[in-house]
Structure 1
Amino acid sequence: MIKNPSITAATRQNFIEAFCQLSQTEPVTKITVRELTQRAGYNRSTFYQYFDDVYDLLTAIEDLVLTQIMQNLANSFDQGTLAETFVTAFSQAHATLASYYEVVLTDSDQARFTKRLKVMITSWLTTNYQLATTDTQLMYVVDFYLSGVIAVIERWIKQQRDLPTTTLAALIRGMIDDGLAPQLILLKGK
């Protein structure tokens, strides 16, 4: 029997949406296949045609977010500073996939998503900026930069984007260009 691709995509999407809804009220570790199938309106066997388990579904959501971020990075490459490029890429992905972002950023295993994101962005940076991955010190700099930028952007999204995108990009750029101490002094004097 040949399945209709649009129905298959819709069924998969319904499970993802049900997962996102459930994750708003309970931790990901507590979501069960039974709850998902009830929320989505399907039976267990249908769920298992699409996903191995709840964590496989979570990985699918992470993959969607990561793909969107990387597409946005590629689209905004060379359109401003690196900080602006990152903020824009994350902001656009959040605008498109807000409920998915909430899942990957509030998951108790958020570190897994962040690690995957850092690996993908490191690869993107080394390719687009022709960085030597064999340069140990350079890779420490890249890791430090990405850890900080990703943490700031994740906080910004969790805080419902409480700063304009341009302000956040300027803040990140200032911390990178000038260092932390001058930024603390500058902001403390406000």
Structure 2
Amino acid sequence: MVTKAKSQADETRQALLTAFCDLYRENPLEKITVQSVTRKAGYNRTTFYQYFLDIEDLLRQVEESLLAYISQKRNSLSVDERPHDLIEDLVAIYEERAIEVNALLGPYGRVHFTEKLKKSLDLSAFHLDSMQDNKYQPYLLEFRLTSALNLFSLWLSRGQDLSVEELIGLVTKLYHYNPGFQELAETKPSDK
């Protein structure tokens, strides 16, 4: 009986999360109300407050859940199994958690989620932290991470008009075959 009640509670909570993400994908946060979420999910306001304090709390829980999922997924892989490019990771995560990704990286997604995501990434897995003595390191890291996230968001907003392979190929070419990036990445401490 307890399992059935927990399952029903999980379904109710997920329905509210999904309704919020659907709304957030199409509306700025300030336009989303408890009433709009509960109406879309098919529940009442009292039910909403059993799970969340307010819309900000709901957003925080969506963000934390996705960040925990990303961290858990990456930590479950050995270093050799981890894909080398952030865009590959984003596509894989998108395939499993599309609702949250669309909302948080969509046109109304908050900038601070992107910042939280960047801070939560293990840079060694992306071969982005090997330039410890390079004065350009913070700029190159920001360029690679931000551009990957922005290209991924653009791909989502354009209805995934490139295949996954084309998107990964595009980002790979932009990163790995960019002579200016390579030159800056190879700057030695004595070049400072």
The interval holding the TM-score normalised by the smaller chain is: 0.7 to 0.9
Once the two structures are superposed, residues 8-47 of structure 1 have per-residue CA deviations (whole angstroms, 9 ceiling, x without a partner) of: 2112111112213333554332111122223323332321
Aligned pairs (5 A) from 1:70-149: 70-74=71-75, 75=77, 77-79=79-81, 82-83=84-85, 86-106=86-106, 108-121=108-121, 124-126=122-124, 131=129, 137=135, 138-149=137-148
- Secondary structure, aligned partner of 1:102: helix
Query: Which whole-Å CA distance do the structure 2 matches of 1:143 and 1:24 have between them?
Result: 25
Q: Show structure 2 runs of 5+ residues with no match.
A: 181-192
Specify which structure has the bigger relative contact order, considering alpha-carbon pairs within 8 angstroms and separated by 6 or more residues.
Answer: 2
**Residue 190 (structure 2) aligns with:** none
Q: In the alignment, is the contact (CA less than 8 A) between 1:72 and 1:92 conserved in 2? A: no
Query: What code does the residue aligned with 2:123 have?
Result: L
Which structure has the highest helix share of the two?
A: 1
Query: What code does the residue aligned with 2:159 have?
Result: Q
Q: State the 1:117 CA deviation.
A: 0.9
**Residue 17 (structure 1) aligns with:** 18
Q: State the 1:89 CA deviation.
A: 1.6
Going from structure 1 to structure 2, the CA distance change for 1:136 and 1:46 (only over 3 Å counts) comes to: farther
**Residue 184 (structure 1) aligns with:** none
Once the two structures are superposed, residues 49-98 of structure 1 have per-residue CA deviations (whole angstroms, 9 ceiling, x without a partner) of: 21111121122222333334334444485348622xx2222112212222
- Secondary structure, aligned partner of 2:105: helix
Q: Show structure 1 runs of 5+ residues with no match.
A: 182-190
Query: What code does the residue aligned with 1:78 have?
Result: D
Query: How many residues end up aligned between the 2 structures?
Result: 177
**Residue 160 (structure 2) aligns with:** 161
Query: What code does the residue aligned with 2:37 have?
Result: L
Once the two structures are superposed, residues 90-134 of structure 1 have per-residue CA deviations (whole angstroms, 9 ceiling, x without a partner) of: 11221222222221123535211111111111xx11478694897
Root-mean-square deviation (Å): 3.3
